[in-house]
A = this chain, B = another copy of it.
Amino acid sequence: MDTAEGVADPRGAGVRRRRGGRVPTASMADVARLAGVSSQTVSRVSNGYAGVTEETRQQVLAAMKELGYRPNSAARALKRGEFRTIGVITFSLATTGNVRTLEAIATSAAGEGYAVTLLPVAVPTQDEVRGAFSRLEELAVDAVIVIMEVHLLDAATLTLPPHVQVVVVDSDAGDHYTVVDTDQAGGTRAAVRHLLDLGHRTVWHLGGPEDSFAAQRRTDAWRRTLAEAGRTVPPLVRGDWSARSGYLAGLELAAREECTAVFAANDQMALGLMRALHEHGRRVPEDVSVIGFDDIPEAGSFLPPLTTVHQDFAEVGRLCVEAVLRKMRQDGPERGTTLVPTRLVTRASTAPPPR
């Protein structure tokens, strides 16, 4: 029982195959002919318009079914001038945050009747991004969301082609574009204050890579919070988000007796950090408190379970879609940044400092 066979070809003996031997699909005209109506009536049925007799409607539906008719989205898009598709540019799906955000975007978009087209950019240079944009423009896309967690390598700010509705996640381009982001500063402040409130004299920081906006903000907020509290700011240690880099950085920190509390810029690095501390006989949380950022699903199963800052990725995704659709419909050059609040999740990895 294969796909196309046995259907009386109303166009006569024409085989009607495109290059490559594609299976021909039924058009509205085919359906119209079979149902004995005009193609416009088929269109009306297809789009659920009123003003079609129930009897006619049934005939058309029957014909559609018989021919396996599917509206041709290219033609429809051409006529309507929109694709109901949102493009998403992302530099990597390796980080939890990006993936969760993407998933939320896809779900929200689906709820609005939009699909999501993915466009991965290998290297985040401005040229690459621009290239991605031209590809997207030639693609079937009405608007674009850029999930950007890394600085553009060759330019301080993001410059993009006009005529495209853009919403950016996790950037500092709020004065040029619409930006939706987690409240990095608020989350960081909560984390650092939590440790200070437990009695630690200061808080060390295992920061993310230099080229990441999110990392930069967390580091800035860490410094600011300590400064506001009048504490000394220990030297910054950097990782690259990976657990491995957290481990390496942890080797350094484990050697420092005076380090009793560490704020890691994400949970993976916190994981590696804790391993290094463990290997060097420094217990968590008795000797050293560790706090993370993100609240990945596994964080509660680390050894010990990790206190961390929970990010609401679903909300970020939802807001992105909302913002981009709003921009699309109103064509308003709306700018500014929307912040999504975080929540501190207290688990076993933080405790008062040793006496």
Contact residues of A with B, CB < 8 Å? 2-4, 18, 20-23, 25, 68, 70-78, 81, 83-85, 92-94, 99-100, 102-103, 106-107, 110, 115-120, 122, 134-140, 161-163, 242-244, 246-247, 268, 271-272, 274-275, 278, 297-298, 300-303, 305, 328-331, 333
Contact of A118 with B117 in the complex, beta carbons under 8 Å: yes
Selected contact of A99 from candidates B81, B93, B106, CB within 8 Å:
B93
Contact A110 B117 (CB under 8 A): no
Of the candidates B71, B242, B302, the one whose C-beta lies within 8 Å of that of A138 is B71
Given known A74-B83, A85-B139, contact A115–B117 (CB-CB < 8 A): yes
Q: Report the Cα distance A305→B276, complex, angstroms.
A: 11
Q: Which residues of B contact A137 (CB under 8 A)?
A: 70, 73
B140 touches A77 (CB 8 A): yes
Name which residue of chain B comes closest to A88, CB basis.
Answer: B118
Q: How far is the CA of A272 from the CA of B297 in the complex (A)?
A: 11
Cβ-defined contact, B268 with A23, below 8 A: no
CB–CB B120/A117 < 8 A? no
Asked if A3 contacts B163 (CB within 8 A), the reply is yes
Instruction: Find out whether the CB atom of A85 lies under 8 angstroms from the CB atom of B117.
Output: yes
- Report yes or no: B74 in contact with A301, Cβ–Cβ below 8 A: no
Q: Which residue of B lies closest to A26 (CB)?
A: B163
Question: Closest B-chain residue to A137, C-beta based?
Answer: B70
A162 — which chain B residues lie within 8 A by C-beta? 2-4, 68
Q: Could you tell me the distance between the alpha carbons of A117 and B119 in the complex, rounded to whole angstroms?
A: 9
Asked, given contacts A117-B115, A333-B2, whether A85 binds B163 with beta carbons under 8 Å apart, the answer is: no
The residue in chain B whose Cβ has the minimal distance to the Cβ of A23 is B163
